[in-house]
Amino acid sequence: MDLKDYLNQFDRFAAATGVVLTEVGEGFAKAVMTVEERHLNGANVCQGGAIYTLADLAFAATVNSHGLMTVGTNNGITYLRSALKGDTLTAEAREENHHKLPFCEVRVTNQRGELVCIMTGTAYRRNQPLIP
Protein backbone atom coordinates (compact mmCIF):
# COMPACT_ATOMS: atom_id res chain seq x y z
CA MET A 1 0.00 0.00 0.00
CA ASP A 2 1.44 3.38 -0.96
CA LEU A 3 1.22 6.54 1.15
CA LYS A 4 -1.68 8.05 -0.82
CA ASP A 5 -3.84 4.95 -0.36
CA TYR A 6 -2.75 4.58 3.27
CA LEU A 7 -3.73 8.12 4.25
CA ASN A 8 -6.95 8.06 2.19
CA GLN A 9 -7.95 4.93 4.10
CA PHE A 10 -6.63 5.57 7.60
CA ASP A 11 -6.99 9.35 8.05
CA ARG A 12 -10.60 8.77 8.99
CA PHE A 13 -11.38 12.37 9.92
CA ALA A 14 -10.23 13.74 6.55
CA ALA A 15 -12.15 11.00 4.73
CA ALA A 16 -15.31 11.77 6.72
CA THR A 17 -15.12 15.42 5.61
CA GLY A 18 -14.75 14.52 1.94
CA VAL A 19 -11.04 15.28 1.57
CA VAL A 20 -9.13 13.01 -0.85
CA LEU A 21 -5.43 12.85 -1.62
CA THR A 22 -4.97 12.75 -5.40
CA GLU A 23 -1.20 12.93 -5.74
CA VAL A 24 1.82 12.23 -3.52
CA GLY A 25 5.47 12.46 -4.49
CA GLU A 26 8.66 13.01 -2.56
CA GLY A 27 8.21 16.36 -0.82
CA PHE A 28 4.89 17.09 -2.57
CA ALA A 29 1.21 16.27 -2.24
CA LYS A 30 -2.14 17.38 -3.61
CA ALA A 31 -5.59 16.93 -2.03
CA VAL A 32 -9.07 18.01 -3.13
CA MET A 33 -12.46 18.69 -1.56
CA THR A 34 -15.73 19.90 -3.02
CA VAL A 35 -17.53 22.32 -0.71
CA GLU A 36 -20.88 20.82 0.25
CA GLU A 37 -23.76 21.91 2.49
CA ARG A 38 -22.11 20.14 5.44
CA HIS A 39 -19.03 22.37 5.13
CA LEU A 40 -20.91 25.68 5.43
CA ASN A 41 -20.83 27.88 8.53
CA GLY A 42 -23.39 30.39 9.79
CA ALA A 43 -22.24 32.97 7.22
CA ASN A 44 -23.07 30.44 4.46
CA VAL A 45 -19.42 30.08 3.38
CA CYS A 46 -17.05 27.15 3.87
CA GLN A 47 -16.07 26.76 7.51
CA GLY A 48 -12.38 27.46 8.09
CA GLY A 49 -11.88 24.13 9.84
CA ALA A 50 -12.95 22.27 6.69
CA ILE A 51 -10.39 24.16 4.62
CA TYR A 52 -7.78 23.56 7.31
CA THR A 53 -8.49 19.81 7.19
CA LEU A 54 -7.89 19.85 3.43
CA ALA A 55 -4.59 21.71 3.83
CA ASP A 56 -3.56 19.52 6.76
CA LEU A 57 -3.96 16.26 4.84
CA ALA A 58 -1.77 17.59 2.01
CA PHE A 59 0.75 18.74 4.65
CA ALA A 60 0.73 15.30 6.33
CA ALA A 61 1.28 13.48 3.05
CA THR A 62 4.10 15.81 2.06
CA VAL A 63 6.11 15.56 5.26
CA ASN A 64 5.55 11.79 5.45
CA SER A 65 6.50 11.23 1.80
CA HIS A 66 10.00 10.09 2.74
CA GLY A 67 8.64 6.98 4.47
CA LEU A 68 9.40 8.01 8.05
CA MET A 69 6.77 8.81 10.68
CA THR A 70 6.51 12.60 10.75
CA VAL A 71 4.10 14.52 12.96
CA GLY A 72 3.11 18.17 12.85
CA THR A 73 4.40 20.48 15.57
CA ASN A 74 3.16 23.88 14.42
CA ASN A 75 0.84 25.20 11.71
CA GLY A 76 -0.38 28.64 10.74
CA ILE A 77 -3.09 29.43 8.22
CA THR A 78 -4.17 32.67 6.56
CA TYR A 79 -7.53 32.79 4.79
CA LEU A 80 -7.56 35.13 1.78
CA ARG A 81 -11.01 34.56 0.27
CA SER A 82 -14.17 32.63 1.04
CA ALA A 83 -15.09 29.32 -0.54
CA LEU A 84 -18.72 28.72 -1.48
CA LYS A 85 -20.95 25.69 -1.85
CA GLY A 86 -20.00 23.88 -5.06
CA ASP A 87 -16.41 25.17 -5.14
CA THR A 88 -13.72 22.56 -5.71
CA LEU A 89 -10.73 23.31 -3.53
CA THR A 90 -7.25 21.97 -4.20
CA ALA A 91 -4.43 21.99 -1.67
CA GLU A 92 -0.91 21.74 -3.05
CA ALA A 93 1.82 21.21 -0.47
CA ARG A 94 5.56 21.47 -1.00
CA GLU A 95 8.29 20.69 1.48
CA GLU A 96 10.80 23.53 1.69
CA ASN A 97 13.12 21.80 4.16
CA HIS A 98 13.26 18.01 4.41
CA HIS A 99 15.50 17.34 7.39
CA LYS A 100 14.58 16.41 10.99
CA LEU A 101 12.27 19.45 11.24
CA PRO A 102 10.64 19.71 7.81
CA PHE A 103 8.93 22.96 6.85
CA CYS A 104 6.09 22.96 4.35
CA GLU A 105 3.90 25.49 2.52
CA VAL A 106 0.37 24.58 1.43
CA ARG A 107 -1.55 26.72 -1.05
CA VAL A 108 -5.30 26.15 -1.38
CA THR A 109 -6.98 27.35 -4.57
CA ASN A 110 -10.49 27.11 -5.96
CA GLN A 111 -11.51 25.78 -9.39
CA ARG A 112 -10.78 29.20 -10.94
CA GLY A 113 -7.20 29.13 -9.64
CA GLU A 114 -7.93 31.85 -7.07
CA LEU A 115 -5.90 31.59 -3.87
CA VAL A 116 -8.19 30.76 -0.92
CA CYS A 117 -5.55 30.37 1.80
CA ILE A 118 -1.93 29.65 2.59
CA MET A 119 -0.88 27.34 5.40
CA THR A 120 2.66 26.84 6.64
CA GLY A 121 3.73 24.08 8.96
CA THR A 122 6.65 22.53 10.73
CA ALA A 123 6.89 18.87 11.67
CA TYR A 124 9.14 16.48 13.56
CA ARG A 125 10.51 13.46 11.68
CA ARG A 126 10.94 10.31 13.77
CA ASN A 127 13.37 7.55 12.93
CA GLN A 128 10.67 4.91 12.39
CA PRO A 129 8.79 3.73 9.29
CA LEU A 130 5.42 5.35 8.67
CA ILE A 131 3.51 2.41 7.19
CA PRO A 132 3.66 -0.80 9.22
43-77 pLDDT, tens per residue? 999 999 999 999 999 999 999 999 999 999 999 99
Residues 56, 119: Cα–Cα separation, whole Å: 8
Reduce the DSSP state of residue 92 to 3 states and report it: strand
At 98 the pLDDT is 77
At 97 the pLDDT is 82
At 132 the pLDDT is 59
Residues 1, 131: Cα–Cα separation, whole Å: 8
Q: Is the pLDDT of residue 89 over 70?
A: yes
Q: Is the pLDDT of residue 110 over 80?
A: yes
- 8 A C-beta contact, residue 31 and residue 59: no
Instruction: Give the distance, in angstroms, between the CA of residue 19 and the centroid of all CA atoms in the same chain.
Output: 8
pTM: 0.95
Q: Is the pLDDT of residue 99 over 90?
A: no
Phi-psi region of 5 (alpha: psi -120 to 50; beta: other; left: phi over 0): alpha
Q: Is the pLDDT of residue 130 over 90?
A: no
Residues 6+ apart with CB under 8 A from 56: 14, 72, 75, 119, 121
